[in-house]
Amino acid sequence: KAGVTQTPRYLIKTRGQQVTLSCSPISGHRSVSWYQQTPGQGLQFLFEYFSETQRNKGNFPGRFSGRQFSNSRSEMNVSTLELGDSALYLCASSLTVVSAGGGGANVLTFGAGSRLTVL
Amino acid sequence: AQSVSQHNHHVILSEAASLELGCNYSYGGTVNLFWYVQYPGQHLQLLLKYFSGDPLVKGIKGFEAEFIKSKFSFNLRKPSVQWSDTAEYFCAVNNQAGTALIFGKGTTLSVSS
């Protein structure tokens, strides 16, 4: 069973440019989440998509956006890149969505990440 | 706001030593708790999870964790570490909506042979 696939794995951009990262979830997984990982801030939640709808968004500026397609593949875009956007961007997919109050839970499977360097 | 605290930033152990990594979370409602591991050059993988029931959960590679509700803690343990356990360990809790994970800052474990 193929895992979560992220492309590209590495990329270098300059300030002011924009970037689009792609994520293919595990077959059958309908929820896709994105996280930013940096040495200083650790892992921070960006947003989560389910059935092409953004269900939850973290505390990031509007320059960070995403979308999900009908085949559950997802893209995230960062516009007007800043030096501080240099990070490992992780995508995770899960099979079901958790209802508020707990019980069952999403178990996230992560991809290898896209490492973005902004110069 | 929910948060997760991992007490140790870097832990250095010799092989066969026992391990306990601390994790505390701040959220008074129902929680789902996780430990993830990131081996050098590899992606994040799930070590173990707690949803409900027995507060002592066992995961892969001999790891276990105990959920203590009164202490808001979910500490990770392993009786005898191996060199191959060298990695970064992350504790996480579901957010209130259940659609995202709140991660701790991580603990780097270095095991010398």
* Confidence at residue A104, expressed as pLDDT on a 0 to 100 scale: 54
Quote the minimal CA–CA distance from B61 to chain A in Å: 18
Quote the minimal CA–CA distance from B60 to chain A in Å: 15
Taking an 8 Å cut-off on Cβ atoms, the answer to whether A31 and B99 are in contact is: yes
What is the β-pairing status of strands B107-112 and B87-94? antiparallel
Q: Are B36 and B46 in contact (CB under 8 A)?
A: yes
DSSP B72: T
Q: Are A70 and A52 in contact (CB under 8 A)?
A: yes
Nearest alpha-carbon partner for A23 in A83, A111, A86, A119: A111
**Six-digit token string for A32:** 């896709």
Count other Cβ atoms within 10 Å, centred on residue A91.
29
Distance (Å, whole) CA B88 – CA B58: 19
Q: Are A3 and A60 in contact (CB under 8 A)?
A: no
pLDDT in tens, B24-33: 999 777 788 9
Count other Cβ atoms within 10 Å, centred on residue B33.
22
Q: Could you tell me which chain B residue has the CA closest to the CA of A54?
A: B99
pLDDT in tens, A65-117: 999 999 999 999 999 999 999 999 999 999 765 544 545 567 899 999 999 99
pLDDT in tens, A8-33: 999 999 999 999 999 999 999 989 99
pLDDT in tens, B34-91: 999 999 989 999 999 998 889 999 999 999 999 999 999 999 999 999 999 999 999 9
Q: Could you tell me which chain B residue has the CA closest to the CA of A47?
A: B100
Phi then psi dihedrals of residue B61, to 5 deg = 60, 30
What is the β-pairing status of strands B10-14 and B107-112? parallel
Distance (Å, whole) CA A48 – CA B95: 12
- For residue A41, give every residue at least 6 positions away whose Cβ sits within 8 Å of its Cβ, in sequence order, or none: none
Distance (Å, whole) CA A96 – CA B108: 31
**Six-digit token string for A19:** 């970037």
Q: Does the CB of B1 have a partner CB in chain A at under 8 Å? A: no
Tell me the chain B residues in contact with residue A31 when contact means C-beta distances shorter than 8 Å. 99
Q: Are A48 and A108 in contact (CB under 8 A)?
A: no
Q: Does the CB of B59 have a partner CB in chain A at under 8 Å? A: no
DSSP SS3 for B29: coil
* Confidence at residue A24, expressed as pLDDT on a 0 to 100 scale: 98
Residue B77 CB-half CA count within 13 A: 12
What does B84-99 look like in DSSP terms, one character per residue?
Answer: GG-EEEEEEEE-TTSS
Distance (Å, whole) CA A95 – CA B45: 16
